[in-house]
Structure 1
Amino acid sequence: MRVYITSVFVDDQQKAQDFYTSVLGFTTKHDVPMGGPRWLTVVSPEQPDGAELLLEPDGHPAVKPYKDALVADGIPAASFQVDDVQKEYERLSALGVVFTQKPLESGPVTTAVFDDTCGNLIQIVTPA
């Protein structure tokens, strides 16, 4: 068993696609119109056949309170591995990304957390 698709709920699919591709560096894998919301997935260019991230519309009534609670508590909705958290923090900060947690060594990992502009906190992590 392995991860095929996982998702983050986004408040605007186009804004999310722009951020996740132009800023974070993912590539669009699927962009299928579905009569309103789209089936919109992105992948890492390092693993184009790897797990897909679904940029899922947050229209269900249960989603907004869930997302708001996670953000209020500082809990990331997803975690992405990077080669060097400090370098990625510097690169993303230069692009205007807002971090809620600067790079922090925590046992066997270094982490940082940023706002994805679509209602989520996202963690980046580098194993020690």
Structure 2
Amino acid sequence: MKIYVTSVFVDDQLKALAFYTEKLGFVEKERIPLGGAFWLTVTGPDQPDGPELLLEPDGHPAVKPYKEALVNDGIPAASFAVDDVHAEYDRLTGLGVSFTQQPTAMGPVTTAVLDDTCGNLIQIVAR
């Protein structure tokens, strides 16, 4: 068994697509129209056939309170691996990305947490 697709709920799919591709560096994989929304996925640029991240609309009534509770408690909705958290933090802050947690050593990992501009906190992590 392996991960095929996982998702983050976003308040605006096209805004999320711009952020996840232009700022975070993912590449668009699938865009399938579904009425007023899309099946819209991104993947790592070095893993075109790897796991996909679905930028899922947050229209379900349970999603917004869930997202707000996570953000209010500082809990990331997703975690992405990077080679160097400090370098990625510098690169992303240079692109105007807002962080809620600066790079922090936590035992064998270093993490930082950013705001994806679509209602989520996202953690970056390096071992």
TM-score (norm. length: structure 1) = 0.99
Counterpart in the other structure of 2:30: 30
Kindly, what percent of the aligned residue pairs are identical? 72
Residue 125 of structure 1: CA displacement? 0.1
SS in 2 for 1:45: coil
Residues 111-122 of structure 1: pairs in structure 2 closer than 5 A: 111-122=111-122
Are 1:53 and 2:53 matched, yes or no? yes
How many residues were matched structurally?
127
Letter matched to residue 87 of structure 1:
A
Aligned to 1:44: 44
Q: Which runs of 4+ in 1 moved over 6 A?
A: none
Deviation at residue 106 of structure 1 after TM alignment? 0.3
Q: Which amino acid aligns with 2:14?
A: Q
What is the CA RMSD across the aligned residues, in angstroms?
0.3
Specify every segment of 5 or more residues in structure 2 that has no aligned partner in the other structure, as ranges.
none
Q: TM-score, normalised by structure 2?
A: 0.99
The corresponding residue for 1:74 is 74
How far apart are 1:35 and its partner, in Å? 1.1
